[in-house]
Structures are given as C-alpha cells and as structure tokens.
Amino acid sequence: MALKGKKKGIGLSFAWNGIVEALKQERNFQIHIAATVLVVAAGIVLHLSMLEWITIILVIGLVLVTELINSAIEMLIDYIKPEIHPQAKVIKDIAAGAVLVTAAVAVIVGILIFIPKLFHLF
C-alpha cells in the first residue's frame, strides 16, 4: 500500500531527475563531470588496463556520489534553516570536506595511474 500523497513510479526516473537537476544547478558537479570526460578520454588514449579502468571508475563514482550527497545536504540545510546559523555552516563545511577528501584521493589515484603512462610516451 502506497503512502498517502506519495507518487507511484519507478525510482530510477526520480534518481535520474536528481542527477539532471544537479547537472543543471550545481557548478561543482558540472566541474566533476567535465573532469570525468577528460579522465576517460585520457584513459582511452593511454590504453588503461582493466584493473586501471576499474580503479578509475570507482574513484570517479566516489567523487560524483559524494558531490551529489553534499549538494543534497546543502539544499536540505538551506530548506530547514534558511537564515544564517553557525551550526548550519559547520554541517555544510563538513559535507564539503567529504567532497574534498574524495577528490584528493581521486587525484592521487590519477597521478599513480597516469604519470607512469605519460613517462613511457617520452
């Protein structure tokens, strides 16, 4: 039995809508998508191994998921507490910190995978 007021439908369409909205509204998500395109193109050009692709895809996914969660947390805080509040700032900063950590890990993984391949080109 569906909850009153809850729409019936496939969750995938709602999830896809969330990704599209994030792509439209969130500058940092757009930057992460652009970086993803560049990394995938570099991976194709440099002929990554299967294990390298798996690693790259996992860290890309981790960064994108963390950015989506961060955006949702920020929007939720703005909805619940639209006025400036010190605790709301701390919550947003911690969520942004999670994105920074995952992005830093992704950069380190990218360096470990791509730098040796680039050195072999020269």
- Catalytic residues, by residue number, are 67
- The token pair that represents 11 in the structure block: 């969750």
User: What SS3 class is residue 77?
Assistant: helix
Contact 69, 98 (CB under 8 A): yes
C-alpha span between 112 and 56 (Å, rounded): 11
The Cβ-side half-sphere exposure at 70, using a 13 Å CA radius, reads: 24
